[in-house]
Amino acid sequence: MQTNYRIIFHIDLNCFFAACEVLDNPSLKGKPVVVCHKDPLKRGIILTASYEARRYGIYTTMLLNEALLLCPGLTAVEPHYDLYNKYSNKFFAYLKSITPKVEPMSIDEGFLDMTDVVKENAYDFAKQMQDYILNVIGLPCSIGIGPNKFLAKMASDIKKPLGITILRKRDIPNIMWPLPVKDLFGVGKKTRARLEPLGIKTIGDLANYPDQDKLKEVVGPAMLEYIHDRCFGIDNSKVEYENLDDVSSISNETTFQISMTNIKFIKDNLKLLTNQVSARLVRHKVAAQTVGIKIKFSNFTTISRSRSVARPINDSLDLWEIVNDLFDDLYDGYSEIRLVGVFTNRLVDQVNSVRQYSLFDDLDNVEKDKKVNDLVKMLNKEYGDKTIRIGIEGNKYGRKRD
């Protein structure tokens, strides 16, 4: 059935990290569970909270010691990124079996352009997909359906877990405008703080605010244009998907639920993105001559930096060394970050065998390797270029220290 409009799905896995942990350890099912890094003082930041935990008021980015005050029986588990990668790969492999037009948003969500796929009722098609992801892969998800990416994303957030919501432009006044302005995707904490003194509490209040000049003064002209378009469901961006016959660049990015300044949390996400980009490079049998990162701040300022390499690379550790250095050079340590991404371009065919590692086999050892490299560079600079050398074969990371 040909249509003169687009049908976009946004599929979001519910409490993904926690859901993976339950699949791996069924004894956790039905219990309040959070995923966070170990900290002797229990100050680790919560990466994901199960819905059982959320009933106690626990949320992502809360500190573990605060969560334990709300729920003394809370179970905290250390993140297992290899496990999350495994289930993410299953999820996206299924999506791509439905349509090649899949744009990953992060490890646990993506857009699909279903315009050429859906022949009958879009809701029924989405229900079949949701049932497969739940019953075969084992993960609950919510699905939003709309004529563009923005409305599909807004729709998927309306009902969780296991929701399916259709949001058309004609539905905006009744479904979207009554929502709190904080639910408008892309509007961050700082913008909301500027809107509240104007009496703007809902998306409808923002859409129908009578003094546009005042709004422009408060949020700026660029932000005003963005929020005006979104309030009325306007979004012309396309689902960006890989053409497997013509891969000129490979990238991945993730948008945080709230703006972040926690460096460990941000770097963990960058490591995950680096691993995914590495896997895709290897899958396409290509290596990158340029590696870069993208950072979008809460004020919508976006910066990107890249670095070229003499030898094309596609393994996780080589990519991470560059990504980590670029981030350290760019980030001031306090600005709020909304999105991070890793990209590669100037791709060439992989002629020689290139090492491929799971970046998350042992994060501590990866960090130790970097510290050793930094120490060697310092000593060689101080005492001569060949005072200490590091080989590249031997241990589980392919690196043997001489």
Residue 379 sits at φ, ψ, to 5 deg, of -65, -40
Residue 96 sits at φ, ψ, to 5 deg, of -75, -15
**Residue position matching structure tokens 């069924």:** 26
d(CA 131, CA 60): 26
Beta strands in 205-354 (DSSP E): 249-260, 286-297, 302-313, 337-349
d(CA 263, CA 328): 10
Q: Which pairing describes strands 75-77 and 286-297: parallel, antiparallel, or unpaired?
A: unpaired
Give the helix ranges, DSSP H, for 81-172: 81-98, 122-132, 149-158
Does the annotation count 109 as an active-site position? yes
> Residue 35 corresponds to which tokens in the numbers above?
């995923």
Provide the b/e sequence for 126-164 (b: ≥16 CB within 10 Å).
beebbeebbeebebbbbbbbbbbbbbbbbbbbbebeebb
> Residue 218 corresponds to which tokens in the numbers above?
């408060």
**CA dist 87 → 94, 137, 273, 331, 360 (Å):** 11, 8, 15, 31, 15
**CA dist 85 → 94, 142, 229, 272, 354 (Å):** 14, 19, 35, 8, 20
| 304, β-bridge pairs | 294
Find the catalytic residue in 52, 109, 242, 253. Answer: 109
d(CA 341, CA 321): 15
Q: Which pairing describes strands 164-166 and 46-49: parallel, antiparallel, or unpaired?
A: unpaired
Just list the catalytic residues. 109
